[in-house]
Structure 1
């Protein structure tokens, strides 16, 4: 019996990996602490002990204490089950939206917030298809290729965060978005032929949007400023901008006008050297025909 209990405890802990709160995420810590406090207050208000509640929701008692103390991010199904067991009338289930945001890594969440406000987005990517362009299968294959490997929960969390950023294409008014990808990045068959084929189709879909400019940088081109790594530029409606380059300013985001002008010069040179949008889409179409 003791062995079985230990196995169940281990199983519970393993299944919850990736649901810890990022210690550097102050907003996330505050959200999860508030959610945990509300769960505990609701449970105590109906006179239910933690052990009985744990059995009712199908979780270990230790996990209940961790969630109520703000040390674990509750799963959406946990909140739904708790809402039902405690008769909360939807109040606990309603917290799922904020809880889901906490699951996204802080850096990704901050980037998504900036992308959601930008009126112009410019990206040069040399090593892989940019996150805004990735299909779910492509994103998963890239993330699962990491070493040491992420846990399944971490993979799910990172894929969901990456896909959530694609909402930028559904904005009204739509931002102006410019992509330049290295030829090697679009030729790499990440995830196998079928996943690669769907990724090429996705590039064609996005590249044909009126607000999107998509270009491919040929491998046989001369040297260009992007050889030092990725470049990103985001411009906002108030005239402000932020950018970063792997090869400049130690890779840190910058907003100083003088530094931004350097990034804009580099990005403009890259766009001028890459294949024009129409030729780039034709290039992707040719690759698709070779699959």
Structure 2
């Protein structure tokens, strides 16, 4: 991990924010752990903010101002730090995915963003936002492809996905697009980059009927859960809530097809799309 002392505060608003937290914390004679106790978070989280690997939350900025007696300094910095190219509700989750050791997703309707092909992503964006310009859609697709590069690292994250069977059956973008998308999933599995399971229609009711879920674990911070619905999402790290999500995910994995059977099904459906396209 990058040391906070190695950061250039002028590099970005986030780096400046982190440098200011470290400067004022040290001036107050507080360790990261002690400051974390005073503002109700972990010392590891304070360290990540100082190293500019995680962004602060608005309520944390307010508490830092109170504890460090900064007269609103961090509250004023916060809006600059949180400007992002992602949808506001997804920003924190995207940042955490980039540093997670493991990512476990349940996908009820669409292939997860990190696993999408450019053509599939374009079809998803176009269906969700039909009035956006081609240029804007192209920029969003490029950003999604940029994010997916975290799967190029052979050491992390360990990515486990459970997809509802409807994800592979719905012809998003048409037969050719789906053939390419399912082939990408197959290649990722065969290259040992992801673990994939399909939740078949025959499983019936299950523990995660209500929406998409992404669970993330980290080397030096508690796990987090990101839940998402239409045009909204929420990142939560309350231990009790995350524990419930972990149990629900385990229950879904238990009734899903095995990884071997899932791969066979995905490749079979890909062949059906290929025949339809031809």
TM value normalised by structure 1: 0.61
- Within 5 Å, give how 1:124-135 maps onto structure 2: 124-135=106-117
- Cα deviation for residue 210 of structure 1 reads 2.4
> How far has the Cα of 1:241 moved from its partner?
1.3
Partner residue, 1:209: 191
Q: 1:214 deviation in Å?
A: 0.3
Q: Is the CA contact (8 Å cut-off) linking 1:174 and 1:211 kept in structure 2?
A: no
Q: 1:27 to 1:151 in 2, by over 3 A?
A: farther
Matched residues in 1 for 2:137 and 2:212: separation? 23
Distance (whole Å) between structure 2 residues aligned to residue 196 and residue 149 of structure 1: 23
SS of match in other structure, 2:203: coil
- Structure 2 stretches of 5 or more lacking a match? 1-11, 17-82, 274-278
1:181 equivalent among 136, 158, 163: 163
Of the three residues 109, 114, 138, the one matched with 1:156 is 138
Corresponding residue number in structure 2 for 1:258: 240
In structure 2, the residue matched to 1:287 is: 269
**Conserved? CA contact 1:233–1:243, under 8 Å:** yes
CA distance in 2, matches of 1:244, 1:113: 12
What runs of 5+ residues in structure 1 fail to find an aligned partner? 1-25, 31-100
User: Which of 183, 204, 218 is the matching residue for 2:200?
Assistant: 218
| CA distance in structure 2 between the partners assigned to 1:225 and 1:245 by the alignment | 14
**How far is the alpha carbon of 1:108 from its aligned partner?**
4.9
> Partner residue of 1:237?
219
Distance 2:210 2:84 in 1: 33
- 1:38 corresponds in structure 2 to none
What does residue range 63-74 of structure 1 map to in structure 2 within 5 Å?
none
Change (3 A) 1:211 1:172: closer
Aligned residues: 193
> Contact 1:136/1:159 (CA < 8 Å) preserved in 2?
yes
Deviation at 1:155, TM superposition (A): 0.6
Distance in 1 between residues matched to 2:206 and 2:182, nearest whole Å: 25
In structure 2, the CA distance between the partners of 1:110 and 1:164, relative to structure 1 (3 Å rule), is farther
In structure 1, what is the equivalent of residue 96 of structure 2?
114
C-alpha distance in 1 between matches for 2:130 and 2:182? 28
Cα separation, 2, equivalents of 1:102 and 1:245: 19
Rg larger in structure: 1
What is aligned with 2:254?
272
1:62-121 deviation digits (Å, cap 9, x = unpaired): xxxxxxxxxxxxxxxxxxxxxxxxxxxxxxxxxxxxxxx965545555433211100010
